[in-house]
Amino acid sequence: MAVIEEISEFLQKGRAKNVKVLVQQAIDENYDPKIILNEGLLSGMMIIGDKFKRNEVFVPEVLVAARAMNSGLEILEPKLIEVGNQPVGKAVIGTVKGDLHDIGKNLVAMMLKGAGLEVYDIGVDAPAEAFIEKAEEVGADIICMSALLTTTMPSMQDALAVMREKGVRDKYIVMVGGAPVNQIFSDQIGADYYTPDAATAAETAKKAIILKK
């Protein structure tokens, strides 16, 4: 079996150590990092996601698969990011309150780093105040919020409301994303940008910061 298929297979079984070794092997065999990501890691995660939807696997299996995904991403990170010389700006990123999904957020963080941004990751289940406090502390240019659940999308709206209350809304560019989020929702809550994937998020953040400066 080719190494890329093996990555997908072992990820589905939640075998983090094997995934790490295989991702390293694929790198050593000069596979394109995007192929390793999309056809190995993400394809395995999507299969698990579909099985989860059909009740063929349950939360514990999805959780170990997600851990294996994050282990693979750690190994792949230096290959995915090629940081330029000039720092472009500072980004605060997190998954919003009530939401524990972090794979997409981690990918966006990686791509932002790759686009030359200094990234402050406040983790998952992050309340509105945490985004604002970190942004104020580090002098961020952009706040990036991720949500994977329809039930946590309103936390993005809450965060924007708190920013307005504190009078800091216009200090920051606000970008939202995650599988259930779309342009209509982003417009409704008054975010500056919605982006559908990590690569677009990084490209858009970079352009938006340059435009604002």
Binding residues (CB under 6 A) for ligand B1M: these are 42, 45-46, 48-49, 52-53, 59, 62-63, 66, 98-105, 107-108, 144-146, 148-151, 175-180, 195, 197-198, 201
Q: Which is nearer to ligand B1M, 85 or 180 (CB)?
A: 180
For the CB of residue 125, give the shortest distance to ligand B1M in the complex, in Å: 7
Contact yes or no for 7/36 (Cβ under 8 A) = yes
Helix ranges, 101-197 (H): 103-114, 128-138, 153-165, 183-189
In the chain, the DSSP E strands lie at 89-95, 117-121, 142-146, 173-177, 193-194
Q: Which is nearer to ligand B1M, 6 or 101 (CB)?
A: 101
For the CB of residue 9, give the shortest distance to ligand B1M in the complex, in Å: 17
Q: Which is nearer to ligand B1M, 29 or 123 (CB)?
A: 123
Q: Which is nearer to ligand B1M, 27 or 62 (CB)?
A: 62
**DSSP assigned state of 99:** -
For the CB of residue 185, give the shortest distance to ligand B1M in the complex, in Å: 12
For the CB of residue 207, give the shortest distance to ligand B1M in the complex, in Å: 14
CB atoms within 10 A of CB 38: 13
The C-alpha atoms of residue 107 and residue 89 are separated, in whole angstroms, by 18
